[in-house]
Amino acid sequence: MTNHLLDHTAEDTFLMCAPDHFEVSYVINPWMAGNIAHGNRSVAMEQWLALVEAIGQVAKIKMMPAMPGVPDLVFTANAGVVLGNKVVLSRFRHVERQAEEVYFDAAFTAHGFEVLTLPPELPFEGAGDALMDRSESLLWFGHGHRSDIACATRLSELLEIEVQPLKLVDARFYHLDTCFCPLAGGYVMYFPEAFDAASQAEITARVPADKRIIVASEDALHFACNTVNSGRHIFLNQASDALVAQLQSHGFIVHQTALTEFLKAGGAAKCLTLKLNEPHQSAAQAARQEAA
């Protein structure tokens, strides 16, 4: 295996937001049930800072201000989906999160992005459900719980990219990034049972067998798929020895950093970050980079 996975890690830039006002104050996914007012904000801050420090060793981090009244603003992955200098802003399905949209809009504008929006009747939850493939010009798009399937066509038009819809069927894996993670080199780490049969077939058809990293239920429930990937580095909450060994066999370095406070709200490493520099390249350009 070549080490070209290392080539561009220094260029990766992630948007994050401190958990100054983070808490579980409502229930909009199964993980939140029973956790209202059961969080520990000081522990959450310690865990978040440890993630910042870890990612900061290999990538750049941009911060956006924390704001009162929007406890889930810390989950910047849901702000929108970025491609080149464009970002499609999220439109949250649940009213509890809709107040976040204006803050994310301001953050993108401050960073010089062209902010695009979907029709108000189409729920869309950003890079929680829209994930760039790492070997071809393709956007994987999760729907079934939060984002509307009709967004797929709109995203393809706005971002000028092929979109592959995947239907989510397990409420515990309510966003695509809780059960599916494209990795450098064209690998995909995912939990098959979170998808319907047709979507599982699409994944196996599009991703070669030697590039598919299947995650078992125990790892999935520890949000192992909710991973931040920068080159060959992988940052996640927790992974079994077997999964770590599998990832290492493909050349990845696994960094485990506890994010248990955020799991109470249904999020982990990937949810806490949004990659801001997603290059818009053709499939041919991606193939040449992979072969280099």
Query: Taking the CB of residue 160, how many other CB atoms lie within 10 A of it?
Result: 12
Angle, CA 269 vertex, CA 268 and CA 273 arms, to 5°? 115
Residue 175 appears among annotated catalytic residues: yes
Q: Which residue has the tokens 């599982």?
A: 200
Q: Measured between alpha carbons, how far is 49 from 128 in angstroms, rounded to an integer? A: 21
Q: List Cβ neighbours of 111 (8 Å cut-off, separation of 6 or more).
A: 15, 62, 276
Residue 265 near residue 223 (C-beta atoms within 8 A): no
Residue 184 near residue 231 (C-beta atoms within 8 A): yes
* Two tokens, residue 230: 């920068």
Which residue among the candidates 17, 181, 225, 271 is catalytic per the annotation? 271
Which residue among the candidates 175, 222, 233, 255 is catalytic per the annotation? 175
Tell me the DSSP string of 31-47.
Answer: TTTT-TT---HHHHHHH
Query: Taking the CB of residue 200, how many other CB atoms lie within 10 A of it?
Result: 16
Closest CA to 19 of 79, 64, 53, 60: 64
Residue 179 appears among annotated catalytic residues: no
Closest CA to 179 of 195, 165, 203: 195
Q: Which residues are catalytic?
A: 175, 271
